[in-house]
Chains A and B, each alone.
Chain A
Amino acid sequence: MRAIDERIVYAIMFGLLLVAPTLIYPIFLMKVLCFALFAVAFNLLLGYVGLLSFGHAMFFGMAAYVAAHSIKVWGWPTEAGILAGAAVAALMGLIVGYIAIRRQGIYFAMVTLALAQMVFFFCVQAPFTRGEDGIQAVPRRPIFGMIDITDDVTFYYVVLAIFAAGFFLVHRVVHSPFGQVLKAIRENEPRAISLGYRADQYKLLAFVLSAGLSGVAGATKALVFQLASLTDVNWHMSGEVVLMTLVGGLGTILGPVVGAGIIVSMQNYLKGFGEWVLVIQGAVFVIAVLVFRRGVVGEIAECLKTRGAGGGSTAPHAGSGSSH
């Protein structure tokens, strides 16, 4: 029953996303999708392994730089640029993860933050990132030499395909035996180890996956806006993805997508208010934290669960975290 529900919800979501560009400005939608993929990747780590990384901007931003530089300066094809960005992000994930997973909780967050700051300062100084000017005017070359992506609507469907691939990869991972082990580690790491699982290897693999997918999101974003700038590696970006995940619903598959939609829409549609944006954003966060403790999707799922169960059964929602 539950699995069927989920499929229908996904079908509705992708159905809406397919027709969305006729109603909504495609560049905005692409931005939402890039951040949604970023948040989904981040949630794989926070929601399912319980590791709060405070440095995910380094993967996102560095992949954006690598993609922008390889496409603009070296003249690589679009798909190679995105893959290069993802590969560099995954490699960084391997190194950072190897160092960081030895610690837990606040120490893990601090180690990732510190390493992300190192990456940020590297990006400020390195000549290829062009400092605070960023890499501008990245060309959008045809994908596979035939799909012309200079048109925003066409590129939107490419970005949607990339997002869908990432989304279902995470969905698959979460529901695989590997994902079950990750959740076991989240709930009780010593017990998982005592059952014979090498927790560190599982955590490292999840970290690399998350970093690589963040890299795909960052590289795609560089192509959407045709620029890569310091904004993407700044620690604010690491904070933003945490907020997206929390507002949407931690440990739910759809939550980060909804959260990214909310945060990006706020940034986009409130900007006419000028300096009041920050005040409005602050108020929304306070309300979200006070009223929707589980995040938007988490609350909806919880609400449906109690109603549907008629107060009796307490079957956990697929993928929903237990105590967030």
Chain B
Amino acid sequence: MKLTKLALGIAGIMLLAGPAQADGSDDVVKIGVLSDMSGTYSDLSGAGSVFAAKKAVEDFQKDHPDLKVEVISADHQNKADIAANTARQWFDVDKVDAIVDLVTSSVALAVVNIAKEKNKVALVSGAASSALTGKSCTPNSIHWTYDTWALANGTGKAIVKTGGDTWFFITADYAFGHALEKDTSAVVVANGGKVLGSVRHPFPAQDFSSFLLQAQASGAKIIGLANAGADTTNAIKQAAEFGIVAGGQNLAGLLVFLTDVHALGLKNAQGLIFTEAWYWDQNDNNRAFAKDYAAAMGGKHPTMVHAGVYSSVIHYLKAVAAQKGDGDGAALVAKMKEMPTEDKLFGKGSVRADGRHLHDMYLFEVKKPSESKGEWDYYKTRATIPAAEAWRPLAESDCPLVQK
């Protein structure tokens, strides 16, 4: 008796972990949105990316009503192992054909490898690492929205050209921060600017006062923030307390999203200069998308990551329609590279051999509170960086797919 009960208990627990329902008929195109739904990046990607993917499917089906598409989503909690587990399960059991968003570089790097192994498709919008189109590029993945090279290049070059020729860096002391500082310094120097110095802060950091004072004392026109997320917002808030922008110096963020500016408020963020791929108030199409987005997401406005998810899903579905099938991931990605891209949010563009989606980038400056017409009216455009200049030249890429 006892034993049967114990055994039943154990069996019950095993069943709790029971088989995921496989219901994969292959005439359905299944898109998985794998994103951070609950952590640091949930605002800039997360549930908004699911909305963007669904919206893209809806818009695409207006022209192709016979194509059956299903969108599912999951939270990877910014952990590469959970993402890898989910991706494998999606591909093997749930018959997912393409995974999109993939915020966080470690997650994206893990999933593109799995997509390659299983011959499926990975469309990266949220992650930053330029290794995705460099040494870690695969024939099954496309990096859509932005990357660290473009951010460093765009921000560095455009600022030097608009007069910000002396720089001081506040750098997060780990690989990502070092890479951003190195890339941006090179761009600044190449364009005739000067780097007056830099200081490294521990990662993560709360107190930036001594670093900001050093930056202030350096007299540099531009203080470059080679960090991300909470480190950037903390540095910006404290810079406002020190009156750095009011004193005539400008902050340049190397990785800033609309939602960061929203969290900071215009009073703290005003004058901040950075590069992004997309802003909701640029044209009527973007505004219409933002309006739908805000209606669905409780008033929040979309970031470039959301727009990138939309754009990449549209292009993927076009390739599926052209190939009349979703089975062969590498063939689909090859088709996506062959066809020019065009959608209402990113306009016309193309996908390069290394999997880099090419489009214009923009240098934005955060408005003063007096210039803003209301909530979410945050950016003014300082410069447009044409697609030809915005991205790492193919010749410099160490992607094995690129023949030299």
- Which A residues form the contact surface with B (CB < 8 A)? 5, 8-9, 12-13, 16, 20, 23-25, 27-29, 31-32, 124-125, 127, 130-134, 136-137, 221, 225-227, 229-232, 258, 261-262, 264-265, 267-269, 271-275, 277-278, 296, 300, 304, 307-308
User: Which of A20, A25, A221, A308 gathers the greatest number of chain B CB atoms within 10 Å?
Assistant: A25
B17 to chain A, nearest CB (A): 4
B84 in contact with A125 (CB, 8 Å): no
Given that A225-B85, A275-B75 are known contacts, is A265 also in contact with B80, CB under 8 Å in the complex? no
12 contacts between A and B (CB under 8 A): A27-B92, A28-B85, A28-B89, A131-B175, A132-B175, A132-B176, A136-B113, A229-B110, A230-B106, A231-B79, A231-B82, A272-B72
Q: In the assembled complex, how far is the CB of residue A6 from the closest CB belonging to chain B, in whole angstroms?
A: 10
CB-contact partner of A136 in B17, B19, B20, B109, under 8 A: B109
Digit string of B11-49 for contact with A (CB within 8 Å is 1, else 0)? 101101111100000000000000001100010001100
For B38, give the chain A residue with the smallest CB separation. Answer: A275
Distance of A267 Cα from B85 Cα, bound (Å): 11
A273 partner residues in chain B, CB cutoff 8 A = 75
Per the bound structure, the CA–CA distance linking A232 and B110 in Å amounts to 15
* Contacts A136-B136, A221-B81 given; does A300 touch B92 at CB 8 Å: no
Among B9, B11, B42, B82, the residue within 8 A (CB) of A267 is B82
Look across to chain B and name the residue whose beta carbon is closest to the beta carbon of A4: B3
Given contacts A16-B11, A265-B17, contact A25 B93 (CB under 8 A): yes
> Which one of B81, B86, B173 lies within 8 Å of A232 (CB-CB)?
B81
Cβ of A130 and Cβ of B81 under 8 Å apart? no
Q: Given A132-B105, A137-B113, A272-B74, are A262 and B6 neighbors across the interface (CB < 8 Å)?
A: no
Q: How far is the CB of B132 from chain A (nearest CB, A)?
A: 10
Q: Do A261 and B17 touch (CB < 8 A)? A: yes
CB-CB < 8 A to B176: which residues of A? Answer: 131-132
What are the interface flags for B51-88 relative to A under an 8 Å C-beta threshold, 1 for contact and 0 otherwise? 00000000000000000000011111101111011101
| CB of B383 closer than 8 Å to a CB of A | no
Taking a contact as CB atoms closer than 8 A, the residue among B5, B86, B175 that contacts A271 in the complex is B86
Q: Which residues of A contact B37 (CB under 8 A)?
A: 274-275, 277
Given A136-B109, A274-B37, A307-B2, A130 and B175 contact (CB-CB distance below 8 Å): yes
The answer to the question of B264 belonging to the interface, with a C-beta cut-off of 8 Å to chain A, is no
Tell me whether A12 and B82 are in contact in the complex, defined as CB-CB below 8 angstroms, given that A133-B131, A136-B113 are known contacts. no
In the complex, the answer to whether A271 meets B82 with C-beta atoms within 8 Å is yes
B174 interfacial by beta-carbon distance below 8 Å: yes
Residues of B within 8 A of A27 (CB): 85, 88-89, 92
Check A272 against B13 for contact (C-beta < 8 Å). Answer: no
Q: Does B288 interact with chain A (Cβ within 8 Å)?
A: no
Which of B11, B17, B174 is within 8 Å of A32, CB to CB? B17
> Interface size on B (CB < 8 Å)?
50
Q: Lowest 9 CB-CB distances: which A-B pairs, in order?
A: A131-B175, A274-B37, A275-B38, A229-B80, A265-B17, A231-B79, A271-B74, A225-B84, A134-B106
Beta-carbon contact of B92 and A25 below 8 Å: yes
Residue pair B74, A16 in contact (C-beta under 8 Å): no
Per-position contact with A for B121-157: 1 when CB-CB < 8 Å, else 0? 0000000010100001000000000000000000000
Quick check: B19 and A24 within 8 Å, CB to CB? yes
A130 CA / B88 CA spacing, docked (Å): 23
Q: A229 to B80, alpha carbons, bound, how many Å?
A: 7
**Residue on B with the closest CB to A229?**
B80
Decide if A28 touches B17 in the complex (CB within 8 Å): yes
Contact (A124, B85) CB under 8 Å given A134-B109, A136-B136, A278-B38: no
A25 with B3: in contact, given A31-B85, A227-B80 (CB under 8 Å)? no
User: Could you tell me if B110 and A304 are in contact, using CB atoms closer than 8 angstroms?
Assistant: no
Whole-angstrom distance between the alpha carbons of A246 and B113 in the complex?
Answer: 36
- A271: which B residues are within 8 A, CB to CB? 74-77, 82, 86
Establish whether residues B6 and A229, one from each chain, have CB atoms under 8 Å apart when the complex forms.
no
Greatest chain A CB density within 10 A among B5, B7, B105 is at B7
Q: Which residues of B contact A137 (CB under 8 A)?
A: 113
Q: Least Cβ distance of B58 to chain A in Å?
A: 20
Additional pairs, 5, CB under 8 Å, beyond known A31-B81, A136-B109: A9-B6, A13-B10, A32-B17, A137-B113, A272-B72
Contact B84 A226 (CB under 8 A): yes
- A5, A134, A265: the one within 8 Å of B110 (CB): A134
Q: Which of A25, A227, A258 is within 8 Å of B81, CB to CB?
A: A227
CB within 8 A of A269: which of B17, B72, B77, B175? B17
- Note all chain A residues with C-beta closer than 8 A to B242: none
Q: Tell me if A272 and B73 are in contact (CB < 8 A).
A: yes
Tell me the nearest residue of chain A to B22, going by C-beta. Answer: A25
Q: Which residue of B lies closest to A237 (CB)?
A: B79
Q: Complex Cα distance A31/B6, Å?
A: 24
**Residues of B close to A20: CB separation below 8 A:** 14
Indicate if the CB atoms of B13 and A258 lie closer than 8 Å: yes
Knowing A131-B174, A308-B2 are in contact, say whether A229-B106 is a contact too (CB < 8 A): yes
A124 touches B174 (CB 8 A): yes
Contacting residues, chain B, for A130 (C-beta < 8 A): 175
Q: In the complex, A12→B3 CA distance in Å?
A: 10
**CB within 8 A of A225: which of B93, B110, B129?**
B110
Whether A133 and B106, one on each chain, are in contact in the complex, defined by CB atoms closer than 8 angstroms, is: yes
A268 and B109 form a contact (CB under 8 A)? no
CB distance from A271 to the nearest CB of B (A): 4
Query: Closest CB-CB distance, B359 to chain A, in whole Å?
Result: 25
> Bound complex: CA of A197 vs CA of B92, how far in Å?
54
- Chain A residues with CB under 8 Å of B89's CB are 25, 27-28
Query: Roughly how many angstroms separate A173 CA and B74 CA in the complex, as a whole number?
Result: 41
Tell me which of A25, A132, A230, A274 contacts B38 (CB under 8 A): A274
A272 to B74, CA, bound (A): 5
Least CB distance from A162 to B in Å reads 17
